[in-house]
Amino acid sequence: IRESAALTRDVLEQHFNDLKGTLKKLLDERLMSLLQEVDTIEQESIKPLDECQKLIEHGVSTADDLLREGESAICGDVEQHNEKLCSFTKKALHIQLDSLPEVPSLVDVPCLSAQLDDCLLTILRNQIFRHGTVASRPPVQLEEFIEKPGAILVRWCKVDDDFVPQDYRLQYRKSTASHFEDVYVGSETEFIVLHIDPNVDYQFRVCARGDGRQEWSPWSVPQIGCTTLVPHEWTAGLEGYSLSSRRNIALRNDSQSCGVLYSKAPTYFCGQTLTFRQTVGQPDRRDSLGVCVEQQNGYDSLQRDKAVCISTNGAVFVNGKEMTNQLPAVTSGSTVTFDMEVVQLGPPSTEGGNFKLRVTISSNNREVVFDWVLDQCCVSLYFGCSFSYPGWKVLVF
């Protein structure tokens, strides 16, 4: 409680400090805009009046000069009197003393004033008093962490019956990191977080957005999840396949070479779920996705002994034999999952083996279930894939 309360105080103080800075900046910008508008109106409106004033002052100055010249002509001697009077008469004939420039009427002269609406303060006050809330309980909480090879399946649930969620938002970070990052936004209540380092603690938190709302709810209580399972990896170096940097994605390239791409080690254990997610290319009846007891080179497909697989057309093969049950064809973005559990471990059975696994293969919301009989105990298996044509890309987790 103390930790979340201290964090909430920090968030509130930071948020309102940011608001203060933003509001001051916006008010300063608005003030500057209005002042510039006043300057523009003043400059544009005063210009014709200034020009009119200059013309009037020039006319008055000219008339004053002419008046003084006339007075001088009258006061001089006879010769000077005639000469000055003649000059005065000529100037007087050329100067129009009875004309004035056009002066704008009073109604056309601007008179600036500031129009300020006091209701802005009332609106801001009402908005500010309603801004922000403090919630003691978030409407969603993390519910479960399930270990996956190099990944964690995170599940969450709604704990507020009155809250109607529209979307969820999941974030995570390494315990040594300072910032959370988004890993999922959507309507599902679970998500597999990939690229998780084994035996490393990660913090998770989730929030939700109410139906028709834009803002997110408070975050759930952060919880720590980790996985002890090493990530699945494809074997590097096989001609015909290119791998991602983490070696969990295999791409069938343009090479003419064909063969089965196996996992680096037998990292699939009974009781787990093995998932393939693929981008499709041109299908072929010999294509395969599946698991096997051991790596066997020299084959171009997992449709062989000691292996179970699904072809890209949906056919299921057990020890090289096609089953009558068939799944839908593999589509781009779809997932194929394998689940296995031990159902018999003991003396040899009538079927010739003393080890039996119950296998469930699922694809496109359909599944087949069968027993796989082996002559040796196998609790960890290799996985593999084979494709005849380029363009296929498979992510395994």
Cα separation of 211 and 208, whole Å? 9
Question: What is residue 7's predicted lDDT score, i.e. its pLDDT?
Answer: 81
pLDDT at 98 over 80: no
pLDDT at 354 over 80: no
Rounded to an integer, the average pLDDT of 251-272 is: 92
pLDDT at 132 over 80: no
Alpha-carbon torsion angle 51, 54, 55, 58, nearest 10 = -160
Helical axes 78-94 vs 2-75, angle rounded to 10°: 140
Instruction: Phi first, then psi: give them for residue 39, nearest 5 degrees.
Output: -60, -40
pLDDT at 100 over 70: no
Question: What is residue 353's predicted lDDT score, i.e. its pLDDT?
Answer: 58
The per-residue pLDDT for range 78-89, each reduced to its tens digit, is: 566 677 777 777
Lowest average pLDDT, out of 26-30, 349-353, 383-387, goes to 349-353
pLDDT tier, 234 (very low <50, low <70, confident <90, very high otherwise) = very high
Alpha-carbon torsion angle 72, 75, 78, 84, nearest 10 = 10
Cα separation of 289 and 287, whole Å? 7
Rounded to an integer, the average pLDDT of 153-158 is: 95
The full DSSP string for 81-135 is: HHHHHHHHHHHHHH--TT--PPPPPGGGS--------THHHHHHHHHHHHS----
Question: What is residue 102's predicted lDDT score, i.e. its pLDDT?
Answer: 67
Instruction: Report the topology of domain 241-396.
Output: Jelly Rolls (2.60.120)
Q: Closest Cα partner for 337 from 380, 378, 367, 304?
A: 367
Instruction: Report the topology of domain 140-227.
Output: Immunoglobulin-like (2.60.40)
> What b/e readout covers 86-119, taking b as 16+ CB neighbours within 10 angstroms?
eebeeeeeeeeeeeeeeeeeeeeeeeeeeeeeee
Q: Closest Cα partner for 319 from 358, 373, 360?
A: 373
Rounded to an integer, the average pLDDT of 123-148 is: 86
pLDDT at 205 over 90: yes
Question: What is residue 79's predicted lDDT score, i.e. its pLDDT?
Answer: 63
Question: What is residue 96's predicted lDDT score, i.e. its pLDDT?
Answer: 66
Question: What is residue 8's predicted lDDT score, i.e. its pLDDT?
Answer: 84
Question: What is residue 1's predicted lDDT score, i.e. its pLDDT?
Answer: 75
| Higher pLDDT pick, 213 / 337 | 337
Cα separation of 285 and 277, whole Å? 19
pLDDT at 231 over 80: yes
Q: Where are the domains of the chain?
A: 1-130, 140-227, 241-396
Q: Closest Cα partner for 340 from 287, 382, 286?
A: 382
**Identical fold at 140-227 and 241-396?**
no
